[in-house]
Amino acid sequence: MVSKVNGIVIKETDVGETGKRIMIITREHGKMLLSVRGAKNAKSKTMAGTQLFSYSEFSLFEGKGFYSATQADVIESFYGIRSDIDRLAYGAYILELTERTAFEDLEDIGMFELLLRTLLVLSKDSMDSINPQMIAAVFIIRLLKESGFIGELYGCQKCGNEFLNEAYLSNDGFELICCDCAKGNETYVGSGTLKAVNYIIGCRMPAIYKFNVSDEVLKQLWIFADSLRREYLGDGYKTLDYIRNMKFSY
């Protein structure tokens, strides 16, 4: 049976000389593993559309227990991501996070729309007011919301009191607590960061990257997103190790 599906390539693995297996994420079916024969032949109908980051329309052949892509027409290549090592590094991390978090055979419109919007922003020509680390931090926080791990954070997660101006990130790394509950050695989270986190969690998806923060807030946002990532999504991300090893690492 032949069918069509639109998806974004989030992982690729070589198979033999010219073939590969790709993982795509779709609105309707979550993650799907596809085998692609001859994807690395220059004349192949699948070469461009099955590259990492590509958003394509795939023609699928359903075999016994597997799908293969017989054609892949590029809808959006996100070329701009590949033109800059910083964007590429954070983009690869965003794909790995998606791959580890998404499920197979499960409609997930929220996660798909988040990834699509994120890659669009990351590939834009003008990157004056936004940076790839910021995009990754926003992506992680919203990904945790779309996956049901976190909701808006208006009060202390220990005593329930509303945050006035500031909060602290608990030492186990994933609770936001008030100054009364903090013992003094926790990570400070200022009001700007609190506001940004609640904006990221609560805003409509199309507006998610439409805000700016100071360098100080960005630093806190990254620490916050990274602690939550470790707590809910685990460790062992090759792409994150790569970012940490880059010479301009933060």
Binding site for Zn ion (CB under 5 A): 156, 158-159, 161, 178, 181
Residue 189 C-beta: closest distance to Zn ion, Å: 13
Q: Which is nearer to Zn ion, 178 or 243 (CB)?
A: 178
Q: Which is nearer to Zn ion, 122 or 156 (CB)?
A: 156
- Position of minimal CB gap to Zn ion: 156
Q: Which is nearer to Zn ion, 37 or 158 (CB)?
A: 158
| DSSP conformation letters of 157-197 | TTT-PBPSS-EEE-TTSS-EE-TTT--S-SEEE-HHHHHHH
Residue 177 C-beta: closest distance to Zn ion, Å: 5
CB 154 within 8 A of CB 167: no
Q: In Å, what is the CA distance from 44 to each residue of 9, 10, 73, 76, 95?
A: 17, 20, 11, 18, 24
Q: Which is nearer to Zn ion, 161 or 187 (CB)?
A: 161
Residue 200 C-beta: closest distance to Zn ion, Å: 22
The distance of Cα 203 from the centroid of its chain, to the nearest Å, equals: 17
Q: Which is nearer to Zn ion, 33 or 159 (CB)?
A: 159
Find the angle CA(23)-CA(139)-CA(103) to the nearest 5 degrees.
35
Q: Which is nearer to Zn ion, 128 or 162 (CB)?
A: 162
Q: Which two tokens stand for residue 158?
A: 């220990």
The distance of Cα 184 from the centroid of its chain, to the nearest Å, equals: 32
Residue 175 C-beta: closest distance to Zn ion, Å: 10
For residue 87, which amino acid is it?
R
Residue 241 C-beta: closest distance to Zn ion, Å: 35
Residue 172 C-beta: closest distance to Zn ion, Å: 15
**Residue 71 backbone dihedrals phi, psi, to 5 degrees:** -150, 150
What is the rounded distance in angstroms from the CA atom of residue 133 to the CA atom of residue 90? 7
